[in-house]
Structure 1
Amino acid sequence: MGPAEGAARPGRFFGVYLLYCLNPRNRGRVYVGFTVNPARRVQQHNGGRKKGGAWRTSGRGPWEMVLVVHGFPSAVAALRFEWAWQHPSASRRLVHVGRRVRSETSFAFHLRVLAAMLRSPPWVRLPLTLRWLCPDFCRDLCPPPPPHVPLAFGPPPIPQALKDCTQARDQGAGDQCTLCACALQDEEGPLRCPHPSCSLQAHVICLAEEFLQAEPGQLVPLEGQCPRCKNSLLWGDLISLCRMGSEKDNDDSDLEEGHWTDLLET
C-alpha cells in the first residue's frame, strides 16, 4: 500500500456501491460506482447525465442503490476496488473467480465477485464495512466476509454526528498516553476508546503495537482488545473516529462526478 493510498483524508466517506435497475425494460441490470455521498449519487444517476449521472445509467432508471462498501482509507483505494469489481476478469487479484455463467443473474454474479474480493488481498486487510441500503435485496455472501468486516443496514452514519459525539467525549480528557504515559502530541489527536465509560487515550503507534501482539507478522492491525475496558475494537473505527473528531467543517467533494471511469464512458 503506497503513501497516497494509506493516508486517509480526515472525516471523509469513500464508498463503492452497487445499483440495481428497477425499470421493467432493463430490470436486473446493475452498475458499480464510486461515491463520497451515496444519497446524492443515486439521485444523480436517476436524474441522468444532465444531473451528473453516468452515461451507462442515464435514461435507464429508476435505479436503486442496494449496497455500499465503505471504510476505504482514500479515494484511490476505493477507485481501485471499484475497477476490480467492474472488471474481475481483467484483475490479477481475481483470477480465481470464474466468469458469469448463463444461469447466473448479473446481480448474483456481482455478489459472488464481491464475496471473493473481500477475502482477497489487498482488500482483505482493509477496515471495510458492507452496508445493505435496501433490505429487499439483502443476500448472504459466499464465502461470508471476514470477521473484521461488519454487516450494516440502512444509510451510512452522518460524519457530523460522529464528530459532535467525539468532541463531547473529549471534554476534560488528559494529555498523556494511557500506554506509555508520555505527552500526547499527535497532530490529529490521540486514539480513544469509543465506549463512554472508558478513558483510554493513546498514541497511534502505542495502540497499534498493543494490537499487533496478536499478529506479529503484520504492519497494520485489524482489531484488538482495549487494554483498559477489554472491549473488542476495530482499528478502522478508531482511526475514522479520531479523524472525524479533529475534522474542520469543509464542503462535500464532487469526486465521483468527474473520476476517470466516468470519463472513459463518454
Structure 2
Amino acid sequence: MSSLAKPLPALYAVYVLRSTVRSKSIYVGSTPNPPRRLKQHNGEAKGGAVRTSRESLRPWEMIVLVTGFPSSVAALKFEWALNNPHLTLHIPKDDRITVATRRKKNGMPARSPHSLHSIIPNIHLLTSVPSFARWPLNVHFFSKDAHEAWKDRIKTNKTTTRTGLQIFSDFGPSADGSSPTSGIYSLPLDYWPMKEYIEKAHNVVSFERQGKCAHCHEEMEPDQGLYAMCPNDGCEAMGHLDCWSKRALASDDDPEAILPHSCDCPSCGGHIRWGDMIKELSLRTRGAGEVEKLLKKKRRLAAKES
C-alpha cells in the first residue's frame, strides 16, 4: 500500500451556519474541525470566509452538521451540491426541490438564497440520492427548528430516513462555546469513539489470531490480504474483504449496485454499515501511528482511573 495513502478521516463535516442576528442569513461549508471553523467565521481566529465576515451578522451558530464523509473531497462534493441544488447532477432534474428563477450576469442559472425550509429538505434529498446514499453519513441537529423542518419534510412528503442514515440531536449551547460538553463542542474530532473496535482488531491481528474467514471458512494467513472485522460489541468475526463485499451485495435491494452499503454479520447477526468497517480497516492498514497513539491514550486513562 502506498506510503502516501492515508486512513479515512476521523471526522469531516458539511455544516450549515445561521446568523444569530439575522436568522435568514445562512451559509454552507465543510471542515474537519467544527469548533475551530466556527471561531474563524465569528472572527475569533484567523480564517473564516468573506461572506461571514460582516460584523452585523455575527455571531454565527452551527445548526446542522452532516458527518461520515470518507474524505475531504467527498465532503466538498456534498457541500457543492447543497450550495447548488438547482445545478448539481447528483439530483435528477425531476426531483429537484430548488430551481433557478433568474440568471446571473454570465448567463448561468442563479438559485434563490438559502433558507431553513430549502436547505433542510435538500439535505434530506441529497443523503438519499445514489451518489451519497451508500456513504455512512450522519445528520446532527443543534437547533430545534432545524430538526422540526427535517421531520416536516418526512411527514409532508410521506418519506422515510434512508436506511443506514443516523440522526442525532443536541440542543445545548453551541453558538458561544459556553458549554464544552454540548452542541458541536461535544463532537469527537479523533478516532476515540472507535477505540474499542480498533483495539479488538489490533489485538487479533497483532497476535495473529485471524483464524478462518467468517464467510468462506478458509484460513486467513497473516499479512496476506485485507481482512475486515465486525464492529459489533463482543464479536471478533473477521473475513476477507471480498467475502464481506459479496455478502453485502447479495442482500442489496439494488441488483446493479457495485459499492456495498451494509450487511449482517454471519457470526453475531448484528447489522454492519460498510463504511464503518472500512474506516477501521483503513486506519489499521494505513494509520499505524494513529492506532498507537489512540491505544497509548487509552492505557494512560486506565492507569489514572486505577
Counterpart residue identity of residue 16, structure 1: V
Name the counterpart of 1:150: 166
Match of 2:132 among 123, 138, 145: 123
Task: Indicate if the aligned counterparts of 1:22 and 1:64 stay in contact, CA closer than 8 A.
Answer: yes
- One-letter amino acid matched to 1:153: S
RMSD between aligned alpha carbons? 2.8
CA distance 1:196–1:91, change in 2 (3 Å): closer
Q: 2-side partners of 1:179 and 1:133: how far apart?
A: 41
Q: Which moved more, 1:10-19 or 1:203-212?
A: 10-19
Matching of residue 210 in structure 1 with residue 219 in structure 2? no
Runs of 4+ in 1 over 6 A off after TM superposition: none
Specify the code of the residue in structure 1 equivalent to 2:200: R
Distance 1:207 1:35 in 2: 31
Query: What whole-Å deviation, never above 9, does each CA across 1:57-83 have from its counterpart, x for those lacking one?
Result: 113211111111122222212111111
Query: 1: distance between equivalents of 2:230 and 2:236?
Result: 7
Once residues 54 and 186 of structure 1 are traced to their aligned partners in structure 2, the CA distance between those partners, rounded to angstroms, is 46
Find the aligned partners of 2:128 and 2:204 in 1 and give their Cα distance. Answer: 41
Alignment of 1:19-168 (within 5 A): 19-23=17-21, 26-47=22-43, 51-58=46-53, 59=55, 60-94=57-91, 95=93, 96-99=95-98, 106-135=115-144, 137-139=146-148, 140=151, 141-142=153-154, 143-154=159-170, 155-168=186-199
Cα deviations by residue, 1:205-233 (Å, 9 ceiling, x for unpaired): 11111121112431121111100011111
Q: Which has the higher contact order (CA 8 A, sep 6+)?
A: 1
Quote the offset at 1:186 in angstroms. 6.0
Residue correspondences, number: 239
Matched, 1:183 2:211: no
- Which structure 1 segments of 5+ residues have no match? 1-6, 251-266
The secondary structure found in structure 2 opposite 1:18 is strand
Over 3 Å counting, the alpha-carbon distance change for 1:185 and 1:39 in structure 2 is farther
Which whole-Å CA distance do the structure 2 matches of 1:166 and 1:98 have between them? Answer: 40
TM-score normalized by the length of structure 2: 0.69
Percent identity, aligned pairs only, is 28
Q: Please give the secondary structure, in 1, of the residue aligned with 2:50.
A: coil
Gaps of 5+ in 2: 102-112, 171-185, 291-306
Query: How far did residue 111 of structure 1 move?
Result: 0.7
TM-score by length of 1: 0.78
**Distance in 2, Cα, partners of 1:135 & 1:29:** 17
Partner of 2:11: 13
